[in-house]
Amino acid sequence: MIMHSIIPNELIFGGFPGSIENNFKEMEYLGVRVQVSQSSNNTLVIQRVISTSPKAYLNPKLQPGMSIE
């Protein structure tokens, strides 16, 4: 892989403990692809909307931080 970036490679790959385990996962919600994380009380919280439709970003139910029942 060739990186072509203004960020030095040591910053991109540095301080990396060797595991990319995080509790993010992707799912479809209300017909839109979202990245969610598991919160402490076992609900899913929206972290990021992955869509090109501007309307998906206007939907209050899809705002980052909203929980999914």
Partner 1 sequence: MTFGKAAVEGEQQEQAKEQKLDNIACIKDLGCSTITNPKGNIHCLTIIGQIEGHIVLPPQNKTTKYEHVIPQLVAIEENNEIDGLLLILNTVGGDVEAGLAIAEMVASMSKPTVSLILGGGHSIGVPMAVSTNHSFIAPSATMTIHPLRLNGLIVGVPQTYEYFDKMQERVVQFVSKNSKITKERFRELMLKTGELANDVGTVLFGEEAVKNGIIDSVGGLSDALAKLYELIRKKRESITAVNSDGGGGIQ
> Which residues here bind partner 1, judged by CB under 8 A?
1-7, 9, 12-13, 15-16, 20, 22, 30-33, 50-56, 58-59, 61-62
**Phi/psi of residue 33, each to 5°?**
-80, 125
Least separation in angstroms between CB 42 and partner 1: 23
The Cα 41–Cα 67 span in angstroms is: 11
Integer Cα distance of 55 and 3 in angstroms: 33
Q: Considering beta carbons, is residue 2 or 41 the nearer one to partner 1? A: 2
Q: Closest approach of Cβ 44 to partner 1, in Å?
A: 16
